[in-house]
Amino acid sequence: MNLVINGKEKNIADSLTVSQLLVQENVKMPDMVSVELNGQILRRTEFEETILKDDDKVEFLYFMGGGCGIN
Amino acid sequence: MGLTEQQIERYSRHIILEQVGGSGQERLLSSKVLIIGAGGLGAPVGLYLATAGVGTIGIVDFDKVDLTNLQRQIIHHTSDVGVEKVKSAENKMRAINPDITVRTYQTRVDAENISNIIRQYDFVIDGTDNFPAKFLINDACYFNRVPFSHAGILRFDGQLITVLPGETTCYRCIFNAPPPANAVPSCSQAGVLGVLAGVIGSLQATEAIKYLLGIGDLLTNTLLTYDALEMNFRAVKLNRNPNCSLCGENPQITELKDEEQVVCDLKSCKC
């Protein structure tokens, strides 16, 4: 199936869950990522149970700290 | 109140803009913006808002200037090492533009003091470097209905979003709670290209000025991400989250509280 991951089209094996996609895309710390699927932010508990479909649009949104005032 | 001759000259490149004009410049001069964090992001914001003639600029930081700050915090100079950051920032902003009033807060924002500070301002800039502060600013701006610009930078990446609390997607809509300890490195651990602070901070200042003038389209319901290595900006559309613990349909957060400060040490950091 074809997915759009962070704006880039990608061909991925069928019936993958969001959790499996995180692993496949080498996201080492899923704790530091929010996932938006077709415009909706998923609950963390939904990562395991959500199966991706053809043409789904997935965004990985990373936690980013730094104004870098304190060192 | 009317502009003086000197002000007309100083702000001529603004006044000539159809969307600003003399009335817009007067509006900026009567506006108040609070910058939380006088670091990488706060530095360009402070300088540009001062040059733009934003009449009252508040700046909050508890820290002093350190040598490692100078790689990116362009408001501080070598001679400022050891000086309170708010004092150093105030000096530069007042030197650039004596028209403006600078209020300094030599403190760390917390659930106790933040509301009293932000309530006095039209717009808030989140230029902090840690997650508890970012969530606190988001929540405090929500409860006090003060619009703000969130931003973060790390390594070669940056992100920002403008939040009109109660109306548009908030920080908690995207990130429900601070990450666990050791999940996300800070700039001091992972590094950051200094100029990232200038790119993203300048965008925050742009959003503040647009909001104050009521012009253009704000960066609401959209997280703008920047990848300096690919030189790529992406605007990611983000709807408000009905499950948001702050501004969703069944909010669990009903009052301000301090999030626990998570500390990432390099040894156990898995990133």
Q: What is the pLDDT of residue A30?
A: 80
Q: What is the pLDDT of residue A13?
A: 87
Q: Is the ipTM of this complex over 0.90?
A: no
Q: Does position A68 have pLDDT exceeding 70, yes or no?
A: no
Cβ-based contacts of A28 with chain B (< 8 Å): 270-271
Rounded CA-CA distance B271/B249 in Å is 34
Residue A65 pLDDT class (50, 70, 90 cuts): confident
Cβ-based contacts of A7 with chain B (< 8 Å): 234
Alpha helices (H) along chain A: 18-24
Name the residue among B126, B129, B243 with its Cβ closest to that of A70. B129
CB-based contact B243 A70, cutoff 8 Å = no
pLDDT digits (tens, 9 = 90+) for B210-238: 999 999 999 999 999 999 999 999 999 99
Alpha helices (H) along B161-214: 171-174, 187-190, 194-213
Q: What is the pLDDT of residue A66?
A: 63
Give residue B194's region: left, alpha or beta (phi > 0; psi -120 to 50).
alpha
- Give the pairing type, strands A2-5 and A57-62: parallel
pLDDT digits (tens, 9 = 90+) for B153-202: 999 999 999 999 999 999 999 999 888 766 667 667 789 999 999 999 99
One-character DSSP codes across B59-124: EE---B--GGGGGT-TT--GGGTTSBHHHHHHHHHHHH-TTSEEEEE-S---TTTHHHHHTT-SEE
In angstroms, what separates the C-alpha of B223 from chain A's closest C-alpha? 9
CB-based contact B40 A6, cutoff 8 Å = no
Name the residue among B41, B66, B126 with its Cβ closest to that of A71. B66
CB-based contact A70 B236, cutoff 8 Å = no
Q: What is the pLDDT of residue B266?
A: 44
pLDDT digits (tens, 9 = 90+) for B50-107: 999 999 999 999 999 999 999 999 999 999 999 999 999 999 999 999 999 999 999 9
CB-based contact A65 B72, cutoff 8 Å = no
Rounded CA-CA distance A33/B31 in Å is 36
